Amino acid sequence: MLRISACRLLGRTGASRLSLLEDFSLRHYSSDPLGVRDDTRDARAYFTTPIFYVNAAPHIGHLYSALLADALCRHHRLRVPSAAATRFSTGTDEHGLKIQQAAAAAGLAPSELCDRVSAQFQQLFREADISSTDFIRTTEARHRMAVQHFWGVLKARGLLYKGLYEGWYCASDECFLPEAKVTRQTGPSGDLCPVSLESGHPVSWTKEENYIFRLSQFREPLQRWLRGDPQAITPEPFHHAVLQWLEEELPDLSVSRRSSHLHWGIPVPGDDSQTIYVWLDALVNYLTVIGYPNPEFKSWWPTTSHIIGKDILKFHAIYWPALLLGAGMSPPHRIYVHSHWTVCGQKMSKSLGNVVDPRTCLDRYTVDGFRYFLLRQGVPNWDCDYYGEKVVKLLDSELAFSLGGLLNRCTANRINPSGTYPAFCTTCFPSEPGLLGPTGRAQAEDYALVSAVATLPKQVADHYDNFQIYKALEAVSSCVRQTNGFVQRHAPWKLNWESPVDAPWLGTVLHVALECLRVFGTLLQPVTPSLADKLLSRLGVSATERGLGELHFLPRFYGHPCPFEGRRLGPETGVLFPRLDQSRAWLVKAHKT
């Protein structure tokens, strides 16, 4: 593992610069200098998004869930390049009372509504470059078979019984609620109506005979699981919240509804008078995708990472693991939880008329631009607010100006007339400041830059592991700024290729900046795949040189050959990212929210 102490220099003054430069120590150059290859980890990984309700068109919150999963999955692929090692599923949740009622309200057959809205999700995900390997619809025959099999296993293990369920049901959230979670709100006609305390959605009183799952038996096993695996639910506050919930009694869970009331769903095997509860139906999608009940699913299941919003934590962190344990399986490997997007400070809702259409945003800000915005600004632990000016400001500053400007500065014909990756001069920039001779030109800040970029891939990988993708992007962005500072400091435009004194240093400045750009391009692939492709192609980096295993930053500095040195740059294909405030000022005005 490479470790450089130059970053300690940053806070010190110029007076003691030389002696401080001598502090700089370079340990060794390993075959995995970035420390991101993790051979002990199973190469396989299975990422899932929640499956989306088809009662309404997709919004930016849905896209955000899918983007987080996409970025995690793409980052995993960079670590483990074998495509066969990764699966990534998404899909639509098409059964249940909510959909049955939405279809009735729209005057459509439920299947028609499902086809229509499921197609919208599929199209959105195609346009947004979501690299899923599976799209599941719960109305598919393969899923019905998996759910009924799963039900049969729970039944055979004595975990289902018939009983009278009486209590509140919220169709919008598709969940049962205890009295303590219900409040009264004045409805449109002035009457007091019962609503869910958490979501504010209306609830109705239900009394019927259902099948009931012995959830209460699983309180202790769930506590053992979570206490034994502190990273099971990430970020930590959500892990903590679930353990808090488990401090209280866990009542058994009703897992079917009368078919006369809920016909749009999967019938209970052997009892057509009952329809399987939509959450049990929906959660099993994660197994259907990997082939359950065929034994092949067993090799994928232990590698599962669920990406979910905070509103569906209870279903994924309590009901689902309990159902899995009941069926003789292990709980999911990881549950990554994110918070929500609000719009101009308000919750997004159809009734408020403030739902942001993600396809319009992709169109306005470009696919990569909008992906970058959501992932750079979205913080899993807290809700984030969306408004149009914020997008323009961020993208102009970080993608158009900072990153695009840097690429332009290092590749423009007037600075780099040969159109190549210039040679690195080891006497101008020796691997240790103590070796700086009369031709040495590197300064303390330059060593700090090399140190920062050398450790960036590991830092980024750690942030991905902790589901803090915005921090990974923040770290990249900070290094881009530092590289711009490096170029600015040495002003290559003032150096002369014809001068034997300037030329080696000019080449070195460009070489270092291009190497930094190569690292940034590689690390941005999970978030801005097209922009990263454009950047890497411009640098002449081939498709087989874009993984994390191949990312040996600045090998010449460490005394190793550099495969890029002297190589022709790729063709010029225009600006990396267009400035939005100039080219689209009129659109921004029209899109104040």
Collapse the DSSP code of 403 into the 3-class scheme (helix H, G, I; strand E, B; otherwise coil) and give the result. helix
Minimum CB distance to ligand MSP smaller for 95 or for 556: 95
Cβ within 8 Å of residue 473, ≥6 positions away: 372, 375, 376, 527
Minimum CB distance to ligand MSP smaller for 173 or for 368: 173
Collapse the DSSP code of 383 into the 3-class scheme (helix H, G, I; strand E, B; otherwise coil) and give the result. coil
Minimum CB distance to ligand MSP smaller for 282 or for 394: 282
Q: For residue 312, what are its two tokens? A: 């569906």
Minimum CB distance to ligand MSP smaller for 352 or for 590: 352
For residue 62, state whether it binds ligand MSP (rule: CB under 6 A): yes
**Helix (DSSP H) and strand (DSSP E) numbers for the chain:** 22, 18
Bridge partners for 335 per DSSP: 233, 306
For residue 323, state whether it binds ligand MSP (rule: CB under 6 A): no
Contact indicator for 276, 268 with CB cutoff of 8 Å? yes
Q: For residue 441, what are its two tokens? A: 């030109």
For residue 340, state whether it binds ligand MSP (rule: CB under 6 A): yes
Minimum CB distance to ligand MSP smaller for 283 or for 317: 283
Q: Which of residues 158-177 bind ligand MSP (CB under 6 A)?
A: none
Taking the alpha carbons of 68, 523, 365, 402 in that order, is the dihedral positive or negative?
positive
For residue 290, state whether it binds ligand MSP (rule: CB under 6 A): no
* Rounded-to-integer distance, Cα 141 and Cα 266, Å: 10
For residue 51, state whether it binds ligand MSP (rule: CB under 6 A): yes
Cβ within 8 Å of residue 388, ≥6 positions away: 588, 591, 592, 593
Least Å from the CB of residue 61 to ligand MSP: 2
For residue 424, state whether it binds ligand MSP (rule: CB under 6 A): no
Query: Where do the H-state alpha helices sit in 157-252?
Result: 219-228, 236-245
Least Å from the CB of residue 235 to ligand MSP: 15
For residue 544, which amino acid is it?
T
Q: How many CB atoms lie within 10 A of CB 297?
A: 18
Among the listed residues 48, 36, 46, 39, the one whose alpha carbon sits nearest the alpha carbon of residue 78: 36
Contacting residue, 21, 36, 61, 411, with ligand MSP by CB under 6 A:
61
Minimum CB distance to ligand MSP smaller for 85 or for 145: 145
For residue 283, state whether it binds ligand MSP (rule: CB under 6 A): yes
* Rounded-to-integer distance, Cα 327 and Cα 324, Å: 5
Stretch that binds ligand MSP, among 59-67, 232-240, 470-478, 521-529 (CB under 6 A): 59-67
Least Å from the CB of residue 456 to ligand MSP: 28
Q: For residue 509, what are its two tokens? A: 């400045």
Minimum CB distance to ligand MSP smaller for 155 or for 310: 310
CB-based burial label for 141 (10 Å; 0-12, 13-18, 19+): exposed
Q: How many residues of this chain interact with ligand MSP, rule: CB under 6 A? A: 19
Minimum CB distance to ligand MSP smaller for 62 or for 371: 62
Q: For residue 199, what are its two tokens? A: 């979501």
Minimum CB distance to ligand MSP smaller for 199 or for 537: 199
Q: For residue 275, what are its two tokens? A: 């329809």
For residue 201, state whether it binds ligand MSP (rule: CB under 6 A): no
For residue 235, state whether it binds ligand MSP (rule: CB under 6 A): no
Contact indicator for 354, 342 with CB cutoff of 8 Å? no
Contact indicator for 246, 219 with CB cutoff of 8 Å? yes
Least Å from the CB of residue 281 to ligand MSP: 9
For residue 433, state whether it binds ligand MSP (rule: CB under 6 A): no
Stretch that binds ligand MSP, among 31-39, 61-69, 224-232, 411-419 (CB under 6 A): 61-69
For residue 309, state whether it binds ligand MSP (rule: CB under 6 A): yes
Least Å from the CB of residue 529 to ligand MSP: 22
Buried b (16+ CB within 10 A) or exposed e, 357-379: ebbebbebbbbbbbbbbbbbbbe
For residue 53, state whether it binds ligand MSP (rule: CB under 6 A): yes
Least Å from the CB of residue 53 to ligand MSP: 4
Query: Which residues bind to ligand MSP, rule: CB under 6 A?
Result: 50-53, 61-62, 64-65, 93, 282-283, 285, 308-309, 311-312, 340-341, 348
